[in-house]
Amino acid sequence: MSDDQKEREEKTTGEDNSEASRASRREFFSHMAVMGAGAVGAATVLPGCDRNGNGEERRQAQVDYPADHVGPGELDRYYGFWSGGQSGEIRIFGVPSMREIMRVPVFNRDAATGWGATDYSKKLLGGRTTGDTHHVHLSYTDGTYDGRYVYVNDKGCARLARVDIETMEVDRITDIPHSQGTHGIFPQRHKTGLVLCNSEYCTPIPNDGRELDEPEKYAALHTAIDGETMEVEWQVMVEANMDLCATDYEGKYSFATCYNSDKGVTVPEMQASDMDHAYVFNLEAIQRAVDAGDTITLGDSDVPVVDARGEDSEYVIRVPVPKSPHGINVDPTGKYAVAAGKLSPTVTVIAIDKLADAFAGNIEPRDCVVAEPEVGLGPLHTAFDGRGHGYTSIFIDSVVTKWDIEKAIEQYQNGDDSIDPIIDKVDVHYNVGHVNASLSETKDADGQWLVALCKFSKDRFLNVGLLHPENDQLIDISGSKMELIHDGPTYPEPHDCVVFPRELIEPVKVQPRTIDRFRMYEEWAQEDGVDLFRANKVIRKGEDFVRVYMTSVAPSFGLTDFRVKAGDTVQIVLTNLDDVEDLAHGMCVANHDVNFLVNPKDTQSQTFRAEKPGVYWYYCPWFCHALHLEMRGRMIVEA
C-alpha cells in the first residue's frame, strides 16, 4: 500500500479496522448465531448472478477502490446526521460510505418502531403525525460537539425536538408559542446553553383573529429555548421574517437572515427590495431586559418577550445585505458570519468583532461588512474547512464554490479586481441546497469531506416514477481542488446535515432507562403495585379499561394468552427482559393496528380498543430467534 493509499484508508475508516476490532465484531455475529438467530445472516446469492448486475468484469475492474470505499465489515470514519425534511425524521449516515445506517423518528408516525402510536410518543407529539425537519445540530461545549443531544426543528408545526444521543430517541419536544414556520435554529456554541429558533413567517401576534388583513402589522419571533430543560426562556419580537439562524462562539450574539424586509405577502412583493437584512441579536442585552422584567407577554403565553420591532436598538441591529439572503454561517475561527445572497451572486462577510461598535452606535451596521465576494448565481449556504476557505452552495448554477476568506476581505478593502478569492468550482447534480463539511460548524473543522444536498437528481438514478429522490453527493475537500466522489439517492427531503468523527458520540446498546419516558412507566407500576420486570398480568382499571403487563424473553412472551371484554380499551405494557445487544422484540396484535418495538431492557406501551369478540393472535414482529414465528399468544375477547 502506498503512503497515499494508507492516508486515504485512515481518513476513510480510521484506525479501528484493526484485526482486533474486526474480530470482536465477528464474535458478536457468532454469538447471534449461537442464540439461534443464524438465519438472519444467511445471504443467498444465486450462482452466476452478480448483485451489481455486471458480472465478473465488474469485480475485476474493482481492484482500485475509490476514496469513499468502506469495505464489508469496515466502519465509517465519520457519522452524519441528516434532517429528513417532509419525512419528519432524522437519518444517521456513515461518511464517507454515505450508507444510511439508521433512522430516528421524530415528528412522524413510524410503523417500524411504533413511534407516534406508542403512549409516550403520542404524549410528546400531542396527536400530530407529520413534521418537516430542516436543521439538525448537536449540543456544544467549548465550541465543539459534546455528544449529548441532537436538536431538530419542525417547520410545519413550530416545534423543537431533542434526541438523547445515548439512546438515539427523542426525549423532549417543545412547542414554540406564537411562531409559524420555525425554520433556522442554532445552539449556542460556547456551551449549549440556549437553542435559538427563528419564525420564518410573520403573523398577527397574538394570532387570534386580529389584524387579519394588515400584513404591515404582522411580526415574527426569535425564540430562546434552554437546551437542558427544553423550556422556552424568552422571545424577541421583530417586524419582518427570519430565515436561517447562527450563533457566535462566545455566547454574545445570534444571527438571523431576513429575506423579506418589505413584509410582502406575494412572491413579487417578497423580492421587491435590493437590500434585506441580517439581524444580529445581542444576547446579553436581551437577558438583562428579561432579568429586569423589561418585557411583555403575548396572548396566553407567559414567556417574556422583548419588543424590538422597528428601529435598531441595544437588542437587535440590522446589517443590510443584498438580496433575499438565505443561509448564515459562522466560520470556525468565530471571526466572521457569512450571509448568502440567494438573489444576489454574492455572499456578505460580517466581522463579528465590529458588532460591539455597531451596537454602541459608533459605526453603522453596514460598516461591519468586510467582504462581498461573487460566488455564483443563487448562493445558499457556506461550509468551512478550518483552513480559511468557504464552500458556498450555488443553487441556480448547480455548483459548489470554494473561496478564500482573507483574499475576499483584501479584495473588498482594496477595491482591487486583480485579487480573485475564488479558488475552485465543482459541478453538483443538481440545484444544491445545504452543504456541510466535517466539523464545519465547530472550531475543530477538519476539512476532509463536504456533503452537498442536491434538491434534484434528474437523470442520476434509475427512473422510479413521478417522485425522484434527492441526490446527496460527497466531495473530497482535503486537496486544493474539490473532487466529487459519490452520488447518493435519499428519500425526500433532507435539508441539512452535520458530519463529525465517530469518536464524538457513544450510544448505548441496552436501554439504560434514564430518560423521562421511564418516569411514566414507573408511576404506572407503582400505582398498580407491580414490578415491570416480573409482571405478567391483566389489571382492570375501570369499567372498560384494562392494562396488560407483559414481559418478553426470546422466544416467548410472559403471557401465552390474556382475556378482555369486547368494548374494552386495552393498554399493553411490554418489558423486554433480554439484554443481548440488538435482541429486540415487539408487539403486533392481529387486525388491531397495534405494532411497536421493544429494545433490550426497554418498556413500551400502546393503547387500543378491542371491539369485537373473538380470538386474536398477538406476535413478535422482530426476527429474534429460530423460534421467532412461535413467539405469539392469544388475546381472547369475550362477548
Shortest distance, CB of residue 163 to ligand CUA, whole angstroms? Answer: 26
Beta-bridge partner residues of 383: 391
- Pick one of ligand CUA, ligand RUQ, none as the site partner of residue 394 (Cβ within 5 to 8 A by kind): none
Shortest distance, CB of residue 102 to ligand CUA, whole angstroms? Answer: 19
**Residue 194, CB half-sphere, CA atoms under 13 Å: how many?**
25
- Pick one of ligand RUQ, ligand CUA, none as the site partner of residue 323 (Cβ within 5 to 8 A by kind): none
Q: Which is nearer to ligand CUA, 500 or 596 (CB)?
A: 596
Q: What are phi and psi of 31, to 5 degrees?
A: -60, -45
Closest CA to 496 of 129, 104, 137, 93: 137
228: cell is 437542558
Q: Which is nearer to ligand RUQ, 377 or 636 (CB)?
A: 377
Site for ligand CUA, rule CB under 6 A:
554-555, 585, 620, 622-624, 628, 631
Q: Which is nearer to ligand CUA, 202 or 532 (CB)?
A: 532
Shortest distance, CB of residue 176 to ligand RUQ, whole angstroms? Answer: 16
Q: Which is nearer to ligand CUA, 140 or 618 (CB)?
A: 618
DSSP classification of residue 585: E
In this chain, which residue has its C-beta nearest to ligand RUQ? 433
- Pick one of ligand CUA, ligand RUQ, none as the site partner of residue 252 (Cβ within 5 to 8 A by kind): none
Beta-bridge partner residues of 359: none
CA distance 248 to 143: 9
- Pick one of ligand CUA, ligand RUQ, none as the site partner of residue 132 (Cβ within 5 to 8 A by kind): none
Q: Which is nearer to ligand RUQ, 133 or 438 (CB)?
A: 133
- Pick one of ligand CUA, ligand RUQ, none as the site partner of residue 622 (Cβ within 5 to 8 A by kind): ligand CUA
CA distance 543 to 463: 55
Shortest distance, CB of residue 367 to ligand RUQ, whole angstroms? Answer: 28
Shortest distance, CB of residue 620 to ligand CUA, whole angstroms? Answer: 3
Q: Can you tell me whether residue 200 is helix, strand or coil?
A: strand
Q: Which is nearer to ligand RUQ, 91 or 495 (CB)?
A: 495
Shortest distance, CB of residue 190 to ligand RUQ, whole angstroms? Answer: 23
Q: Which is nearer to ligand CUA, 338 or 598 (CB)?
A: 598
Shortest distance, CB of residue 168 to ligand CUA, whole angstroms? Answer: 21
Within a 10 A sphere around the Cβ of 284, how many other Cβ atoms? 12
Q: Residue 272 corresponds to which amino acid?
A: A
Whole-angstrom CA distances from 617 to 250, 324, 482, 539, 561 are 58, 58, 57, 20, 9
Site for ligand RUQ, rule CB under 6 A:
134-135, 183, 244, 326-327, 380-381, 433-434, 495-496
Beta-bridge partner residues of 318: 279
- Pick one of ligand RUQ, ligand CUA, none as the site partner of residue 476 (Cβ within 5 to 8 A by kind): none
Contact 328, 272 (CB under 8 A): no
CA distance 304 to 420: 48
130: cell is 407529520
Q: Which is nearer to ligand RUQ, 183 or 585 (CB)?
A: 183
For CA atoms 200, 206, 211, 212, the dihedral sign is positive
